[in-house]
């Protein structure tokens, strides 16, 4: 009987020693040598690949794979924490102003941004071509069509169109003007969709241009047109710096269009509920009154009527009497 107790104690002692050895082995596990079952969970078939590499090349790839997984986990966690921190900072410490593409301010901001240094050095821009009605705006003295007539004296449009100059590219988005300029097309580049940073009056702003699919009822040339959105963001809990920037852009845009007349047309009923009921079509150089042939008395009456119509109090006068202001 005593001999049996000694056997029991010896077996218990051996089990304790084995568990201690197992714990020591776990504690001494190197981070760069993850267990094969963990690697197998991330990379199916890892055991076969590792054995093949060990037999053929004599190299254990477990160290390389373990280091790669650790780096991947570290980068993913840092990126996750950065996204959370940036989202929280944007929510509580940044201000934004959104501009829809149906607003005139959208084109003004886009033109001003295209003229800045940020657009000139950006590696992601959008090329835009503006095609005018060259056959309507051509100068008759320079493009009389005499050189593009066939043997029967019939005008050859293809030969004439081949004489149109190539696009002239610029980093400034031009204002489309319907005038008697040189026929052809005008090209320019403007910021592409995404985020762009720029400085204005010592403050950093973020220009974010995005687009979203329009509703099925809005079509342009037989296909749904995309709606664009501009977001201007600055650091701070006040939108005053952004409003100051927009005021500056408005003045800058008005100075460019002092000698122009803006042509607008009504928008369809689907888009009228999203903003203004008039959309801008193009701009023409303002015609001097000296070129209008009228009797002096009649011209004076026309000018007086125009001044009364453009007076700031005229819209209220029309509204009080229920007359459309047009």
Tens digit of each residue's pLDDT (9 = 90 or more) over 28-69 = 445 445 566 666 666 777 777 777 777 787 777 777 777 887
Q: Where a domain ends, among 41, 68, 99?
A: 99
pTM reported for the whole predicted model? 0.57
Instruction: Tell me: do 293 and 154 sit in the same domain.
Output: no
Query: 162 and 259 share a domain?
Result: yes
User: Alpha carbon 290 to chain centroid distance?
Assistant: 44
The number of angstroms, rounded, from the C-alpha of 273 to the middle of its chain's C-alpha atoms is: 24
**209 CB neighbour count, 10 Å cutoff:** 22
pLDDT at 163: 61
- Shared-domain flag, residues 198 and 309: no
* H-helix or E-strand spanning residue 208: strand 203-213
109 and 95 co-located in one domain: no
Q: What's residue 275's pLDDT?
A: 52
> Higher-confidence residue: 38 or 260?
260
State whether 160 and 266 are in the same domain: yes
Mean pLDDT of 132-141: 40
Better pLDDT: 127 or 84: 84
For the ranges 5-14, 18-27, 189-198, 220-229, the maximum mean pLDDT occurs at: 189-198
The verdict on 51 and 138 lying in the same domain is no
Q: Does one domain contain both 143 and 236?
A: yes
Pick from 99, 120, 140: which residue ends a domain? Answer: 99
Query: How far is 245 from 233, CA to CA, in rounded Å?
Result: 11
What are the structure tokens assigned to 91, written together? 């929510």
Is the model's pLDDT at 222 over the cut of 80?
Answer: no
Mean pLDDT, rounded, for 212-227: 58
Question: Are residues 128 and 65 part of one domain?
Answer: no
- HSE at residue 300, side-chain half, CA atoms within 13 A, is 3
Provide the pLDDT for residue 143: 47
- Helix 104-114 vs helix 240-256: crossing angle, to nearest 10: 90
In the structure, what pLDDT confidence band is assigned to residue 269 with cuts at 50, 70 and 90? low
For residue 309, the enclosing domain spans 287-326
Nearest to 188 by CA among 133, 131, 123, 260: 131
Q: How confident is the model at residue 25 (pLDDT cuts 50, 70, 90)?
A: very low
Same domain, 164 and 225: yes
Residues 235 and 151 both lie in one domain: yes
pLDDT at 256: 82
Please tell me whether residues 137 and 269 are part of one structural domain: yes
Q: Helix, strand or coil for residue 309?
A: helix
- What is the number of structural domains in the chain? 4
Percent of the chain scoring above 90 in pLDDT: 14
Whether residues 245 and 105 fall in one domain: yes
């Amino acid at each position: 009987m005593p001999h049996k107790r000694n056997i029991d104690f010896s077996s218990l002692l051996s089990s304790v020693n084995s568990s201690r050895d197992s714990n020591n082995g776990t504690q001494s596990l190197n981070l760069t040598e993850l267990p094969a079952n963990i690697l197998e969970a991330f990379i199916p078939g890892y055991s076969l690949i590792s054995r093949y590499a060990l037999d053929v090349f004599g190299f254990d790839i477990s160290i390389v794979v373990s280091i790669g997984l650790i780096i991947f986990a570290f980068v993913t966690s840092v990126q996750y924490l950065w996204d959370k921190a940036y989202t929280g900072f944007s929510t509580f410490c940044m201000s934004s102003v959104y501009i829809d593409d149906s607003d005139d301010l959208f084109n003004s901001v886009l033109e001003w941004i295209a003229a800045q240094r940020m657009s000139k050095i950006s590696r992601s821009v959008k090329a835009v071509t503006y095609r005018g009605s060259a056959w309507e705006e051509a100068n008759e003295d320079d493009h009389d069509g005499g050189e593009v007539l066939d043997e029967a004296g019939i005008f050859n449009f293809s030969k004439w169109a081949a004489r149109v100059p190539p696009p002239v590219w610029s980093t400034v988005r031009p204002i489309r003007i319907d005038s008697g300029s040189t026929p052809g097309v005008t090209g320019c580049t403007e910021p592409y969709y995404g985020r762009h940073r720029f400085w204005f009056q010592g403050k950093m702003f973020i220009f974010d241009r995005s687009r979203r699919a329009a509703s099925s009822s809005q079509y342009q040339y037989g296909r749904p047109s995309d709606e664009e959105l501009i977001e201007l963001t600055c650091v701070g809990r006040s939108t005053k710096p952004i409003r100051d920037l927009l005021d500056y852009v408005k003045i800058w845009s008005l100075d460019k269009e002092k000698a122009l007349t803006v042509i607008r047309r009504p928008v369809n009923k689907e888009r009228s509920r999203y903003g203004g009921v008039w959309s801008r079509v193009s701009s023409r150089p303002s015609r001097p009154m000296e070129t209008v042939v009228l009797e002096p008395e009649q011209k004076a009456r026309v000018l007086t009527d125009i001044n009364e119509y453009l007076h700031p109090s005229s819209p209220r006068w029309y509204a009080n009497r229920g007359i459309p202001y047009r």
